[in-house]
Structure 1
Amino acid sequence: MSAVEYSLADIWAQALKLKTVEAEDNFFNLGGHSLLALSVIEQIKLRLGWIISLSTFIQYPTIRELVTNASQPTAANSERLLIRMSKRGRLKPIVFVPAIGGMIFSYTKLARHLSANRSCYALQSPALIGQSVPETISLLAALYIETLVSELGTNDFHLVGWSYGGLVAFEMMRQLGTGANRKLVLIDSFLRPEKRTLPDEEVIFKAFVDDLLSQFGMQADMPEGISRPQALQALAARLFGAHANNGDAQSFEFIERMYHAYLANLQAMMAYQCGAADVSAALLFPTESNDTVAHWRDRVDNLEVIDLQGDHYSLLNDKNAAQIATATAAYLDQPAFVEQRADAGLQL
């Protein structure tokens, strides 16, 4: 390996807690994720003076690809709402809409399975790039649509949303209207028709921590009565590594941004009241819930329900991502096939 490749391998090995990393190893296959990638990107900047974007890092996930294809890196992606996860193939692109925390890391493994013959993009929360978050789902959907049409030059794409991301994706489809063969994939998205009262901030912050850690398969075990600064420090250490405990202001700042996104999105979700829409959608749902299915059927004219095995946070892990990708691709590209399997009670 070159000197730069050796330096990158050392940075990766430290971040991933591995003894060695080879030039052809895929960062995400080694256990990396988008949050950890942000920490690696910062270390690359500090040690090599090399500024790269998260989208570039995702696009070139091996050291060899990164050095070969991104030798003239540009400014970091942190000023962009739309991140390109892959660009290949001629099939209609997929756009992933972020869940309540606003980050794209939940979709990294799913995108890898879906990107063989189509481009994949992901939106992130405005809060993560230092912008204000729209107060309602309707306004957030409008902002995302404007961003997509401006950057992609088209409104011809499919939308995929997990959890809260499904609500925003549905509202985007509703605003886009008919006239294109767009489809929506809802992954374990709950629709609650009644307005709810926002809990106090202590409860919200604990829910934020639990949600964030659960997405990485970590136990949400913050001690009771822990102060906010202590919780942030412990959370940063678990997500970014021990160096985050040594005054790593960037890690703390980014977690604060994620919390701001979570809080703003929670407020918007609590107030969201949606009507029916003339859209085609698939609801990939891991548990039997007649109420949830009925709520979506009341609002989606053409809804396919596909049963899944797994819980809310395990759906997008390594094992289940491949199965969800298969069902998603079948629905987007072979609707007749999906209808047949769905009617038969498909179990993934």
Structure 2
Amino acid sequence: MSTRQTPLLEPVTTSEPSLVQQILLDIWRTTLDRDVTVADDFFETGGDSLLALVTIEQINQRLGWTLNMGDLLRFRSIEGLTSHKAQPQAANGERAVIRMSNQGSRTPLVFLHAGIGTVDGYARLVRLLGADRGCYGLQSPLLLSSGNRAVPDTMEGVAELYADLLEDEFGEDEFHLVGACAGGAIALELTRLAEERGLGLRRTVAIDGYLDVHSTGEPDARELLFQFRDDIIRLSGTSGAFPDIAPADLDEDTAIRDASAAIFGAARADDPAANAFARRIYAAHCLYARALSAYRPDPVDTDLLLLLAKDNFTVDDWRAAVRGELTAEVMESDSYGLRLCQTDAETHAARIEDFVGEE
């Protein structure tokens, strides 16, 4: 990684949509069934009162906002909403399991968060897969703004907690699991638990999951901070707006400030509430990275679809961890991790549909 001699508090400016604006774009494109921009008027691009109610419900569910019809009538564009009504929250603060699409006749998909704890990077997959299928996101309880946010610090403990959450949500009803990056390892461990816990798990998909069973020791704190900043900026697609900073030169305040800007927009870089949310994501990132580093899975008797970035070096670890049929496919893409779910969404959606089949 190259470095530039730039002030650490250099103002961030970008014309690219923030991560929150991208989430809103995906929601609007789904409910309006057409392409839109952040400047488009909701009601002039096909929206009506019924679609507005569906859109508002999805925004409140996904982002944890409290919009109403009057807000959308006053601020009819995404630019307007994020300038005047945006709350420094990019996840539902009350529930770990959130609904990301309408219900359907086919078996639901549950998308497990990646290492940063959010499910925002799955929005394009949800749009492609959720036409007649309920899609849910399981975000980290560490992102919740109320209640007990304690999360175990081992992958096995995380899976036990998440099995409880899925049992509360689905009971004995069937569902499929999809997990990207660290979410792939969580999905593998949940698959192990499914039968003994009576979960209705049908099929498991891992997108660029990592099982580095040869790692030694705990991840370096500076590298964790650097990776957190890099993951958030890369996920938002706004890399060009931020200076390159080497791990040794990065401090936590700068990382939090840049993460806030990537998530909420440059105007929120120093917002205390936005910074507090970014710090919750950072805490989640550190916990899951450490749990993943120490994870040594016993073989799981299951079939699994594994869609890999071309530089993923852990495919042999996955082969050792899956006793059933492992369908591994390498993606010819420059993306990796959760970002791969955005840039290669069409390819992934087709592979997932084929793997889970029609009910």
Asked if the contact 1:157–1:182 (Cα under 8 Å) also holds between the matched residues in 2, the reply is: yes
Given candidates 297, 301, 315, the residue that maps to 1:293 is 315
Correspondence for 2:220: 200
Give the 3 Å change call, closer, same or farther, for CA 195–230 of structure 1 in structure 2. Answer: closer
Greater length-normalized contact order (CA 8 Å, ≥ 6 residues apart): 2
3-state SS, counterpart of residue 174 of structure 2: coil
3-state SS, counterpart of residue 304 of structure 1: strand
Correspondence for 1:280: 303
Give the 3 Å change call, closer, same or farther, for CA 19–105 of structure 1 in structure 2. Answer: closer
Correspondence for 2:176: 158
> After the TM superposition, which of the residue ranges 95-104 and 143-152 deviates more from structure 2?
143-152
Correspondence for 2:3: none
Give the 3 Å change call, closer, same or farther, for CA 302–209 of structure 1 in structure 2. Answer: same
Give the 3 Å change call, closer, same or farther, for CA 260–249 of structure 1 in structure 2. Answer: same
Give the 3 Å change call, closer, same or farther, for CA 132–34 of structure 1 in structure 2. Answer: farther
Q: Which amino acid aligns with 1:298?
A: A
Correspondence for 1:268: 291
Correspondence for 1:146: 164
Give the 3 Å change call, closer, same or farther, for CA 25–307 of structure 1 in structure 2. Answer: farther
**Does structure 1 residue 231 correspond to structure 2 residue 255?**
yes
Q: Which amino acid aligns with 2:142?
A: A
Q: How does 1:112-191 map to 2 (within 5 A)?
A: 112-130=127-145, 131-154=149-172, 156-177=174-195, 182-191=202-211
Given candidates 303, 319, 322, the residue that maps to 2:326 is 303
Q: Which runs of 5+ in 1 are unaligned?
A: 1-10, 28-32, 51-61, 64-75, 336-348
Q: How does 1:1-348 map to 2 (within 5 A)?
A: 18-23=38-43, 24=45, 38=63, 41=65, 44=67, 77-130=92-145, 131-154=149-172, 156-177=174-195, 182-219=202-239, 221-224=243-246, 225-245=249-269, 248-287=271-310, 292-300=314-322, 301-310=324-333, 311-313=335-337, 314-317=339-342, 319-333=343-357
Counting matched residue pairs gives: 289
Asked if the contact 1:86–1:120 (Cα under 8 Å) also holds between the matched residues in 2, the reply is: yes
Find the aligned partners of 1:151 and 1:297 in 2 and give their Cα distance.
31
3-state SS, counterpart of residue 237 of structure 2: coil
3-state SS, counterpart of residue 94 of structure 1: strand
Find the aligned partners of 1:175 and 1:184 in 2 and give their Cα distance.
13
Deviation at 1:308, TM superposition (A): 1.9
Identity %: 30
Q: Which amino acid aligns with 1:138?
A: E
Find the aligned partners of 1:188 and 1:34 in 2 and give their Cα distance.
28
Q: Which runs of 5+ in 2 are unaligned?
A: 1-19, 26-36, 52-57, 79-90
Deviation at 1:182, TM superposition (A): 1.2
Asked if the contact 1:96–1:159 (Cα under 8 Å) also holds between the matched residues in 2, the reply is: yes
Find the aligned partners of 1:166 and 1:242 in 2 and give their Cα distance.
32
Correspondence for 1:340: none
Q: Which amino acid aligns with 2:318?
A: W
Asked if the contact 1:195–1:272 (Cα under 8 Å) also holds between the matched residues in 2, the reply is: no
Asked if the contact 1:275–1:299 (Cα under 8 Å) also holds between the matched residues in 2, the reply is: yes
The CA deviation string for residues 5-44 of structure 1, in whole angstroms up to 9 with x for no partner, is xxxxxx989x9894442225799xxxxx989x749x37x5
Find the aligned partners of 1:109 and 1:268 in 2 and give their Cα distance.
28
3-state SS, counterpart of residue 121 of structure 1: strand
Q: Which amino acid aligns with 1:132?
A: A
Deviation at 1:207, TM superposition (A): 1.0
State the TM-score, normalized to the length of structure 1. 0.73
Asked if the contact 2:211–2:295 (Cα under 8 Å) also holds between the matched residues in 1, the reply is: no
Q: Which amino acid aligns with 2:171?
A: G
Correspondence for 2:6: none
For the aligned residue pairs, the C-alpha RMSD in angstroms reads 3.5
Give the 3 Å change call, closer, same or farther, for CA 308–119 of structure 1 in structure 2. Answer: same
State the TM-score, normalized to the length of structure 2. 0.71
Give the 3 Å change call, closer, same or farther, for CA 315–210 of structure 1 in structure 2. Answer: same
Give the 3 Å change call, closer, same or farther, for CA 196–117 of structure 1 in structure 2. Answer: same
Give the 3 Å change call, closer, same or farther, for CA 203–307 of structure 1 in structure 2. Answer: closer
Find the aligned partners of 2:59 and 2:123 in 1 and give their Cα distance.
8
Correspondence for 1:6: none
